[in-house]
Amino acid sequence: MIKRVLLVVFACFWGVHAAAADPRDPGKLQLASANAAVYDASTGRPIFAKAANEVTPIASLTKLMTAMVVLDGGQSLDEPVAVDIQDFDFLKGSSSRLRLGTQLPRREMLRLALMSSENRAASAVARHYPGGLDSFVAAMNAKAIALGMKRTRFDDPTGLSPKNVSTANDLAVMVRAAAEYPLIREFSTTPSHYVEVDPAGSIVGFNNSNRLVASSDWEILLQKTGYIREAGRCLVMLANVASRPVVIVLLDSIGKYTRLGDAERIRHWLETGDALPLRAVARGAGPAAKASAPGKRVSGGPVRGSFNAAPPRRSRAR
């Protein structure tokens, strides 16, 4: 019921602007992510921005657009889709638990692409699109244009290509559009899932790439993570925070937990109006962190009450 109410409110995302100023001071909020945007989904009003119009690679955040194009295509979600050698990652060499020849219904491939960021699953559903992969990527770019994502360009359906680029503000638009699809909301927030991967009945379990979906502190309606070296760690979410739906976009984070720590910082700021500082070394850091050379930055984890990741050192390979 809560989700239904939020989605009704969310329908006016860009169309209505709040008259009253938010009492929270954006100047207080410090984030380690290089690019960020926070929007009030009920009013369409930006709450916070950091380099939000800078074009940057977006890694597997791409898969939200992939999912929309698959669902727009209207192909049967029960139709089997097979993993082929063309779905293997020869660009980044990423691993996959979907072996050559694995057949799953399109529905399951889409779920794994969204929740577990399975690259072979995303590639397989795109390759089985009418007209093949080229037609699929063209449809991705056409939808981006239709949504008004003027600084966005897609080169592949997985996000492994660094030529998949966007901005934090454009990605907030994409989150809004993706939230209109019930299956994308469901699949992207599935904590874990099991599938049979071969005729012998072998069962393989997959976990969500975003650990926050399993946290009782969060009410996440839609999410997607992403990572390649050129993009850094990325995260987008539509979540209910401080009794209102909020879109959060975090791009180019360094460190495994920095994007999650930034999400927690944003939530704390929205709920209390206070900002938690960035610190060089996490409280209670283990021996490895404590033994770090003076001045070396160590990213903190997303544990509630310990928001200590330092600002990233900018080392981009675009």
* Residue 303 forms part of a structural domain: no
- What pLDDT was estimated at residue 215? 93
* Residue 71 forms part of a structural domain: yes
* Residue 50 forms part of a structural domain: yes
Q: With contact defined as beta carbons under 8 Å apart, do 265 and 29 qualify? A: yes
pLDDT in tens, the chain (318 residues): 544 444 444 444 444 344 344 567 888 899 999 999 999 988 888 999 999 999 999 999 999 999 999 999 999 999 999 999 999 988 888 888 899 999 999 999 999 999 999 999 999 999 999 999 999 999 999 999 999 999 999 999 999 999 999 999 999 999 999 999 999 999 999 999 998 877 667 888 999 999 999 999 999 999 999 999 999 999 999 999 988 999 999 999 988 889 999 999 999 999 998 888 886 323 333 333 323 333 322 233 332 222 223 333 333 333
- What pLDDT was estimated at residue 279? 65
Q: With contact defined as beta carbons under 8 Å apart, do 117 and 225 qualify? A: yes
How are beta strands 45-50 and 56-57 bridged, if at all?
unpaired
* Residue 279 forms part of a structural domain: no
Bridge partners of 248? 38, 237
Q: What are phi and psi of 169, to 5 degrees?
A: -65, -40
Residue 275, CA distances (Å) to 24, 26, 51 in order: 10, 9, 19
CATH of the domain at 175: 3.40.710.10
Q: Which domain holds residue 235?
A: 2-248+265-274
Q: How many domains does the chain have?
A: 1
* Residue 256 forms part of a structural domain: no
Residues marked active site are found at 60, 63, 117
- Inter-helix orientation angle 106-115/119-127, to 10°: 140
* Residue 98 forms part of a structural domain: yes
| Nearest Cα residue to 218 out of 284, 162, 266 | 266
- Inter-helix orientation angle 62-73/168-178, to 10°: 30
